[in-house]
Amino acid sequence: MSNIIEIRELNKVYRDGTIALDNINLDIQHGEIISLLGPNGAGKTSLISTICGITNPSSGEVFVDGYDIKKDYRKTRKLIGLVPQEISLEPFEKVLDVIRYSRNLFGYSNDDDHIEKILKRLMLWDKKDKRIVELSGGMKRRVIIAKALSHNPKILFLDEPTAGVDVDLRIDMWKLIKKLRSDGVTIILTTHYIEEAEEISDRISIISQGKILLTENKNELIEKMGQKTITFIVETKKNLDSLAKKFDLSITKNNPLTMLNYNYKTTDDTFNEFLSDLNKLDCRVLNIDTKEKSLEEIFLDVVGK
């Protein structure tokens, strides 16, 4: 897969001295969904704003489809659709006019068939003649998504698209994002709902204090960082303390039963030994349960460092 966005040594220091981006290097691949995760103030929005031309970088370079975002800004921006975190809309304009306006700004003439398709997809078609002030918050969020899609972007930035959106709509939005991906659109998503990132993204990038801490394929990340805890409920008369020490188990006794927690890693090769030791100690296994470490826990581990 080739890169559609290449970010090289990007720095952003705001006028007040805040370092929002600290030497960012990141390649975004053609057609993928990548989630940027990070706590409030990590620099996610700053990164997106810089790529889109809303803020000037302090130093560094960004290439979109091979074009420099400064020198060839017309080419790069035409490829990009942006759904900003903050909803800002002209309050007294009609939905349809606002969306047409976006399309025109990107240099395209009106195409009401295309806009109709987008509005229907976002379940806004019946609201097309309403003024923005007459819409609910979730509807406004859909309007800014429609605006971003009005010029058929090849790359879509979604900065917390599901903040303040109800459960039904969120699931619809995931469907839409997956559909766009299958149409070949590259999607860069920020979210504070980790299960959302887990659900839809191909890759995950964790950013904190302006630095990218890691960028990994989602499944590999969960596998690599993820530990399983395997819980055994056993019945035995023997003392299990030495076993616990050997395999670093946590033990809870509740006569005549004992609960053992075994921390399993994929790189682990002592598990078989543990099982045979368990047998030797005459343990009768009554129940087994496994629990995987979630992306959320991985995230907290990484950011907490």
Partner 1 sequence: MNFQAIKAIYIFEMSRTIRTLIQSIASPVISTVLYFIVFGSAIGSRMQNISDVSYGSFIVPGLILLTVCLQSISNASFGIYFPKFLGTINELLSAPVSYVEVVIGYVSAAVTKSMVIGLIILITASFLVDLTIEHPIWMIAILFLSCVSFSLLGFIIGIWARSFEQITIVPDLIITPLVFLGGSFYSINLLPEFWQKVTLFNPIVYLISGFRWSFFGNADVSIGYSISAILLFTTICILIIWRIFWTGYRIKS
Ligand X SMILES: Nc1ncnc2c1ncn2[C@@H]1O[C@H](COP(=O)(O)OP(=O)(O)OP(=O)(O)O)[C@@H](O)[C@H]1O
Return residues touching ligand X (CB under 6 A): 14, 16, 18, 20, 38, 40-46, 85
Stretch that binds partner 1, among 75-83, 113-121, 192-200, 237-245 (CB under 8 A): 75-83
270 Ramachandran zone, left/alpha/beta (phi>0; psi -120 to 50): alpha
Q: Which of residues 32-51 bind Mg ion (CB under 5 A)?
A: 44-45
Integer angstrom CA distances of residue 230 from 42, 95, 226, 227, 260: 34, 54, 13, 10, 8
Residue among 41 and 66 whose Cβ is closer to ligand X: 41
Torsion of CA 5, 190, 178, 170, to 10 degrees: -160
Should residue 85 be labelled a site residue for Mg ion when binding is judged by CB under 5 A?
yes
Residue 43's binding partner among Mg ion, ligand X, partner 1, none (Cβ under 5 to 8 angstroms by kind) is ligand X
Smallest distance, Å, CB 186 to Mg ion? 20
3-state secondary structure of 170: helix
Q: Could you say which of ligand X, partner 1, Mg ion, none residue 214 binds, taking C-beta under 5 to 8 angstroms by partner kind?
A: none
What span, in angstroms and rounded, lies between the C-alpha atoms of 57 and 70?
10
- Residue number with CB closer to ligand X (65 or 159): 159
3-state secondary structure of 181: helix
Q: What's the closest the beta carbon of residue 6 comes to ligand X, in angstroms?
A: 20
Q: Is 147 exposed, middle or buried (0-12, 13-18, 19+ CB in 10 A)?
A: buried
Instruction: Kindly list the residues in this chain that would bind partner 1 in the complex (CB under 8 A).
Output: 14-15, 49, 52-56, 73-75, 77-78, 80, 82, 84, 86, 88-93, 97, 100-102, 104-109, 147
